[in-house]
Structure 1
């Protein structure tokens, strides 16, 4: 028996509607302006019937190929590579950065004295479900970028410092968890995403649209 639309979990309905919007836009059924307008409405909606109304005139449904592309785009990169040594990032009156595709060990240590450190997990390759990040920041600035599917637990002790956690989560059940602990004294630690979830949806939709066009040309 099919569950009535108003009785279904709203996040499940929202995901279904956003998938249908992306799929129809990528196939040229709706314009970029209509797609972004409806996407904004879908992300803000608090009613299942309102959500379904956004795709009531769209016939195309997301297929298995779409779901595979989406999984590849929005799931964390996992690897069986052996990288169990702890990572140490240090900055004293300078700057340090780790970004791109790098293998994330189980333990990461950041030491920052009057400097700046950027730690970017956006394209990182995970091999552990639980990662511990130890922060020791004195009069410095740490910026930590995490993708939407990564959980962040902050246990940082701040003394006349600033700690901001602006991270979000797209799929908490399947993503790794980063626990951040340590201390910040007269410094700052900011945890955030490089792109908003809307920007990531739009980017994904445009990449699918380009792929679909190329496929039709060949």
Structure 2
């Protein structure tokens, strides 16, 4: 049960709640909290109605690191990343219309777990992940066409874990592992 003091202050908006969930996931991925602690705190975040309640849940977490979240957005046209580029801990890709091409096969992963949130309207997306990556797609929903992804057994330990979430509107999403 929360105290009356926790229910003071402005009402909680969805953006603040999503930010709190992201901070908890980041703390868990960096092993700053245990799985049980994350579950308990997620429950508190989801039940919170005021900003004061979030402060008590997030207060003991390590400070948020800069440059761990990045957004690539385009209203129309093409989004493309390839070659040696740094992949942030959290990557959000937003496109209303147009194709998305992300080649992560030669990208630099500074974090063992990377979360990529796709918010795509119309247009296809093709994502190439490293050969030794572990891919999770449970948090991803597609509206019109199915997701094309054939899981591959990692070739060895040490590859990044890439977790996809978000929504794909009208267009096909294809995720594949690099051949080499």
For the Cα contact (< 8 Å) 1:83–1:105, is it kept in 2?
Answer: no
State which of 153, 156, 160 in structure 1 corresponds to 2:136.
153
Corresponding position of 2:120: 137
For the Cα contact (< 8 Å) 1:156–1:181, is it kept in 2?
Answer: yes
Runs of 5+ consecutive residues of structure 1 not aligned to the other structure: 1-81, 201-218
1:108 aligns with 2:91: yes
**Runs ≥4 residues deviating over 4 A:** none
What's the RMSD between the two structures over aligned residues?
Answer: 1.9
Shift of 1:135: 0.6
Corresponding position of 2:111: 128
1:187 aligns with 2:139: no
> TM-score, normalising length from structure 1?
0.48
Corresponding position of 2:154: 170
1:91 aligns with 2:74: yes
Aligned residues: 115
Change (3 A) 1:181 1:150: same
C-alpha separation in 2, matches of 1:143 and 1:157: 15
C-alpha separation in 1, matches of 2:100 and 2:140: 16
Which structure features the higher share of helix residues?
A: 1
Shift of 1:167: 4.9
Deviations 1:130-170 (A, max 9, x none): 11000111112111101210110002111223311135243
Which structure features the higher share of strand residues?
A: 2
C-alpha separation in 2, matches of 1:178 and 1:152: 5
Higher-Rg structure is: 1
C-alpha separation in 1, matches of 2:74 and 2:124: 10
Worse-matched range after superposition: 138-147 or 158-167: 158-167
- Which structure 2 residues correspond to residues 198-213 of structure 1 after superposition, within 5 A? 200=180
